[in-house]
Amino acid sequence: MFGEIFICQFPFTSGTESKIRPALVLFNLQQDAVICRVTSVNHTGTLDVTLNDWQSAGLLKPSVARLDRLVTADKSVLVRRLGTLSSTDLEAIRAR
């Protein structure tokens, strides 16, 4: 599952609400997964990774994986699989 992009019900940090958005799976933990937020808003923080091959990952717009926005979530929030990151983008995620 590492590197797969899903549309998911991404929970806010408060835990009381969520938003439908793309998410990147970082770790598969049996019933749960560690996911990070993917956004089309251009961020350039230390833990933001620009996804160069965003179209091949199934994303509609140029996107950034925000590695400082992590959530451990039940896999039931992963609504629909969009695609998988390219090997180049996966290496950038691992390196960061």
Domains of the chain, first to last: 4-95 (2.30.30.110)
Give the range among 17-21, 54-58, 87-91 with minimum mean pLDDT. 17-21
Q: What pLDDT is recorded for position 14?
A: 65
pLDDT band at 18 (very low <50, low <70, confident <90, very high): confident
Confidence category of residue 19, pLDDT binned at 50, 70, 90: confident
User: Exposed, middle or buried, 88 (CB in 10 Å: 0-12/13-18/19+)?
Assistant: exposed
For the chain, give me the number of helices (H) and strands (E)? Answer: 1, 6
Residue 64 and residue 38 in contact, taking contact as beta carbons nearer than 8 Å: yes
In this predicted model, what pLDDT tens digit does every residue of 26-81 receive, in sequence order? 999 999 999 999 999 988 899 999 999 999 999 999 999 999 999 999 999 999 99
Q: How does residue 83 score in pLDDT terms, banded at 50, 70 and 90?
A: very high
At residue 86's C-alpha, the angle toward residues 53 and 88, to 5°, is 85
Give me the residues paired with residue 70 across strands: 36
Please name every residue paired with 80 in a beta bridge, in sequence order, or none if there are none.
7
